[in-house]
Structure 1
Amino acid sequence: MNVNVTTEAEVCAREPIHLSGAIQPHGFLISCSWPDWTVRHVSANVAELLDLPPRALLGTSLREHVDGSFLEAIADALRFIEPGLAAQRVATVNLGRDGALCDVSTHLHQGLVHIEIEPQTTADGSTGLTANAMIGRIAGQDPAPGFFQQVASLVRELTDYDRVMVYRFRADDAGEVIAEARSDEVEPYLGLRYPASDIPAQARHLYLLNRLRVIPDAQYAPVPIEPALHVGGAPLDLTHHALRSVSPVHVEYLRNMGVGASMSISIVSGGRLWGLIACHHRTPRPVPPGMRATADLFGMYVSMRVAGHEQATTMALFDQSQQLGDVLRESTLKGQSLADVLPIYLRVVARLLDADGVLMILGSRQASIGPVPGGESLSELCAWGAARAGAVAMTHRREDWRSQSHPADGLAGVLAMAFGRDGDGLYCFRKEQIEEVTWAGTPHKATVPTDDGTRIAPRRSFAAWRETVRGQSVQWSDSDRRIAERLYDILIDLHRRSTVNADEQQTLRQRQNVREESERLSRLAAMLGDMQHLDEAQTRYLAEQIAELELHMRSITHRGDREDNSGDR
């Protein structure tokens, strides 16, 4: 047994949850090659639907076992489905010996047509609430706390789950419940924070690809897929399957929370997973396809509103950063150096990046507004920035860039726009934010040994666990990074131009000095023809002047050559 020492995030992130090799038991899977409909994979429970065991289906044409209209409906849909996208509901048909009414979804992946079939339940549980009605209740509202509270309430009204939460991901991938609608019989989770390992990276990626995920019964027994391996010996990729069996760690996690059924709706903004609308019920609860479609459409609208609001906010700041760049560029074109003009606009930079302090370092020139580090911390800052020159670097943790544990300036977060290895650049700072964090249970999970190493053991208690967090500032956001990158591009360009202009001006001054001294030497040389008219003292004085000029000329020429060679390097 090999027990590896790894972080919780690494242990979680390496679990191949898309290769579970099984589906949930409330549906069936048939995967066929296309376009001959040869059956390549089936779920082990397929006999319950078609009254044939898996071995009787594998290798045969699906045409032999289902009505032609069923395949025609799928074929028609496939003309509009791009490979590698999430499963799409395409038909409602009668299947099996009993003619059960089933909802059919399909998608293309790994060269196969994957057909997912879910028998309809006897009671659809419909509340009569439509997506249009739900959207109408929040239309025109900015995505603020009241907006998200209504989102949670509307989804609970639609689904009648015991609890519906709006869960937002932070910059460090931890999550926080920012809105909640619940039954009086369940405890509140509003304001609780969850560690990033609760929803690891590969799970967040799947939530991006599949907007809606349902687990009707958290006590389910997975149904294996036969055969388990695809062509070439690799497991069948279930990334886009709505019926994919979820991680056993996640199932255990839900059971420990007392959850009997769950549904998650993704909130996506700017191509990233912004958050989830997370629904929990204490007992098993099927969600009919019609209700899922309503929830999915509503989730897309919420995503659109969040993305639109974030984009508008970021674009307004982008415009301001561009205006600042235009002012700086115009000033430098008029002959002012960047070191002269940038200090005038440090408060604008602070406002753009919501910084408490801003420091400019350009050679021997420094300028600042608000609290900035000094002494040893300044040296550490320059070293930290220089090591990351060429791109925007940012951290909200004090320990990442300075050794002082209780600095007088109170600064913890830094965003660096370093120009070179000397540490020159622009630095923005945020003060330490001592924060009382309430976690849903202790955020530090235990690991248990397995034959392959270790796996996370989900925590059993979700009771509020409080922690005082020190040495950190408010985190820099993706928007902060994008604005800083826009500003950095402008500043680095002006810095290079300013450096080139300074070099050019120095070269011109040297050339002018050479011309002036050459002219003076020429005039003295012209006087040599009349030296016979001079007495001994005048001759000696003239000789000294000529020797001094020659030394000066050699000095100017040698210095210019040396700087030219330095420039070549």
Structure 2
Amino acid sequence: MFPAQFRRDACAPHPGARSMNPQLERALQECANEPIHLSGAIQPHGYLISCQLPDWTIRHVSANVEALTGAEPAGMLRHSLREFLTDDLIQAIAETVGFGEPGAPAQRAAVGNIGPMADLCDISVHVADGLVHIEIEPQPRGAGERSPTVVAQTMIARVAASEDIDDFNQRVAEQVRLLTGYDRVMVYRFRHDDAGEVVAESRDSALQTYLGLRYPPSDIPVQARTLYLRNRIRVIPDATYVPVPILPDRDSRGAPLDLGQMALRSVSPVHLEYLANMGVVASMSISIISGGRLWGLIACHHRSARRVPPGIRAAADLFGLFVSMRVASREQHDAVALEENARSVRDALSLRLDNAADPRLALQGELDLLCRAVACDGVGLVQAGHWYGAGRTPNESRMPDLLDWLRRTHNGAGPVATEHAADWCRGPGETDGLAGVLALPLDLSRNEWLFFFRREQIEEVRWAGRPDEPFLVDGDGGKIGPRASFSAWNETVRGHGLPWSDGDRRVVGRLHQMLRERYRRGAAHSSVGDLSARRVRLDVREQRGRLLQLSELLEGLVHVSPREAAQLSARINTLESELQSLISAVSAVDD
């Protein structure tokens, strides 16, 4: 059941920027402030032992550790790990620690038998806050061990040949589902506004599709995205679990343990409720990282509890690293292509302006070339109060609105950009179908600017539930829990253009530098022209004075010979000719 479509005017704010009621704002702030990396507990499918080197003294254990080692938690604290693990396992852990760095993600160290029942376990380890943190997960009985590297190589081979981005994402979802057996696997990409969008999906045919649905930024808050960067694989085998406390729950300084790098970390109760509202019991996510930022996730959902052994997770992690590298490579390729095109335009424009008598005035005729410098739909120029345009630009009547926007936002540091028509337009229907603007100051003393414009992008967005209702809140603003409805909610979003990317800004920054240099040269040329004109005018006045003096002298001479009169007349004619030449020179300079 789809609600009625909600339509916005051209200058209406984006859903993420729409004004919220105070209760919702408090609920969102409470969620954003939740210290989810300090939960003080782990999930019950594994065990935690934290030791201090060099003597492997145990400082922390999970409360369920007796089920593994046969020793009570209190009986393990302050004892050596060597009393509970065999030397070969401790040696493997030590070697893994030696290869790693403090703060690095956990690494799979060994597979071995632990405890009186000789349970076969996977052991992962990482170093943080001066402690060696050992995470132990019993392997399911009868589980065959496959080499994570071989499995990942097979998966990579099946997707590597795909050049089309949509096909690549779809193959990624299919391979992860084939590996893990989850009911649904999605490739979830973060947009420029931090909202998420499902761009590929592989699912059980009995499930409703999520493909194309968009999720508001509050569904994965900032601190959660930060943890996805620190810990590339997150798994919840059973979202109905009861958390297992860590003993003691504080370190030697009295601070709670930072569990951000632990695969076993107990997750936020809000997230568990969110999964329950979606009908999800088990989940896993694989981070896709590009350029040090979280590009997206490979998100896996299952309708019942599901264990994914560490070996399978290791293969998924390797595959995720490959996907991240492909995404980063594609983004780098696009950035290089953008820069090469911009450099070609910049070089051509620089040559033309260098050959112009006045680069400043010549810029008016190069707007078509500037349209190719950056991805845009039109270029506008304000010079001496006049408007010049090429491509798709606003009507000249919009120039005061643009200049008013610049007066309000420009801090004198460089270019100014917006993707929202509401920032610079006065009302609905006045943007001439444009939304995004990127403005370069050319000469602030003359209020001269260069503008790049992008068209309005009218989007028919299918949200997974209303984006302005991310939480259920009571009248006092106390957060009751995450939203319970994920029914598709349609919205027409207007008044927004494609965002100006970091690559766009770098390209425009270099173009701006080149134009400012040519502008200064044009200003110097103009100053030289002004000095020349002033000098010619002075020469004209001087010659005119001399001519008048000779004329007066001639009139006063009555008794002169015909020869002397002829010489004076010739001199006056010469001065008249010189004066006429000077007058012509003044006219040429003024033109």
The TM-score bracket by the shorter chain reads 0.7 to 0.9
Superposition deviation, residue 255 in structure 1? 0.7
TM-score after normalising by structure 2: 0.81
Alignment partner of 1:33 is 2:57: no
Provide Cα deviations, 1:57-96, integer angstroms capped at 9, x if missing partner.
2233323332222222111111110111111111112111
Question: Which residue number corresponds to residue 43 of structure 2?
Answer: 24
Please show how residues 423-434 of structure 1 align to structure 2 within 5 Å. 424-434=448-458
After superposition, give the CA deviation of every residue in 1:456-506 in whole Å (9 maximum; x if it has no partner): 721112121222223223x3253xx313322223223422x2343244334
1:150 and 2:165 are equivalent in the alignment = no
The answer to whether residue 489 in structure 2 is matched with residue 468 in structure 1 is: no
Q: Is the 8 A contact 1:142 1:309 kept in 2?
A: no
1:109-120 aligned at under 5 Å gives the runs: 109-120=128-139
Instruction: Give matches, 1:398-547, under 5 Å.
Output: 398-407=421-430, 409-419=432-442, 424-443=448-467, 444-448=469-473, 454-455=478-479, 457-473=481-497, 475-476=498-499, 478=501, 481-495=502-516, 497-509=517-529, 511-512=531-532
Which stretches in structure 2 are left out of the alignment for 5+ residues?
1-21, 558-591
User: Among 102, 107, 112, which residue is 2:121 paired with?
Assistant: 102
Residue 281 of structure 1: CA displacement? 0.5
Q: Which moved more, 1:17-26 or 1:4-13?
A: 4-13
Partner of 2:74: 55
Residue 86 of structure 1 is matched in structure 2 by 105
The answer to whether the 8 Å contact 1:143/1:305 transfers is no
Distance 2:342 2:399 in 1: 26
Any conservation in 2 of the 1:31–1:40 contact (CA below 8 Å)? yes
* 1:395 counterpart residue number: 418
Matching residue's letter, 1:95: I
1-side partners of 2:542 and 2:363: how far apart?
Answer: 45
| Alpha-carbon separation, structure 2, partners of 1:278 and 1:446 | 21
Q: Residue 212 of structure 1 contacts residue 265 of structure 1 at CA under 8 Å; is this kept in 2?
A: yes
Whether 1:274 aligns to 2:299 is no
- The aligned counterpart of 1:237 is 258
What is the rounded CA distance, in whole Å, between the counterparts of 1:519 and 1:194 in structure 2?
76
Change (3 A) 1:456 1:366: farther
Question: Greater relative contact order: 1 or 2 (C-alpha under 8 angstroms, separation 6 or more)?
Answer: 2
8 A contact 2:106–2:125 mirrored in 1: yes
TM-score normalised by the chain length of structure 1: 0.84
SS in 1 for 2:253: helix
CA distance in 2, matches of 1:216, 1:440: 24
3-state DSSP class of the match of 2:25? Answer: coil
CA shift for structure 1 position 172: 0.8
**2:96 matched to which residue of 1?**
77
User: Is the contact made by 1:439 and 1:464 (CA closer than 8 Å) also made in structure 2?
Assistant: yes
Residue aligned with 2:427, SS: coil
Query: How many residues are matched?
Result: 530
Cα distance in 2 for partners of 1:186, 1:458 equals: 22
Of 199, 216, 229 in structure 2, the residue corresponding to residue 208 of structure 1 is 229
- Residues 87 and 150 (structure 1 numbering): CA distance in 2 closer, same or farther, change over 3 Å? same
Relative to structure 1, is the Cα distance of residues 89 and 343 closer, same or farther in structure 2, using a 3 angstrom cutoff? farther
Runs (5+) with no aligned partner, structure 1: 538-569
Bigger radius of gyration, 1 or 2? 2
In 2 relative to 1, CA 396–125 (structure 1 residues): closer, same or farther, beyond 3 Å?
A: farther
Instruction: Give the match's secondary structure for 1:208.
Output: helix
Amino acid at match of 1:470: R
Taking only aligned residues, the RMSD between alpha carbons, in angstroms, comes to 3.2
Residues 356/338 of structure 1: CA separation in 2 closer, same or farther (3 Å cut): same
Single out whichever of 330-339 and 76-85 deviates more from structure 2: 330-339
1:327 aligned residue (336, 343, 348): 348
Deviation at 1:126?
Answer: 7.7
Residue pairs, 1:250-265, within 5 angstroms: 250-265=271-286
SS in 2 for 1:505: helix
Report the Cα offset of residue 122 of structure 1: 1.4
> 1:218 deviation in Å?
0.8
Structure 1 residue 439, shift from structure 2 partner: 1.2
Q: Secondary structure at the match of 2:99?
A: coil
User: Percent same amino acid among aligned pairs?
Assistant: 47
Change (3 A) 1:521 1:395: closer
Amino acid across the alignment from 1:256: N
- 1:15 pairs with 34, 37, 44, which one? 34
Distance of 2:267 and 2:506 partners within structure 1: 38
Equivalent residue for 1:292? 313
Alignment partners' CA distance in 2, 1:350 and 1:523: 51
Tell me the CA shift for residue 278 of structure 1: 0.8
Q: Tell me, in whole angstroms, the C-alpha distance in 2 between the residues paired with 1:377 and 1:429.
A: 13
Q: Identify which of 336, 358, 380 aligns with 1:315.
A: 336
Partner of 2:570: none
Q: 1:139 aligns with which of 160, 165, 187?
A: 160
Query: Which amino acid is 2:494 matched to?
Result: R
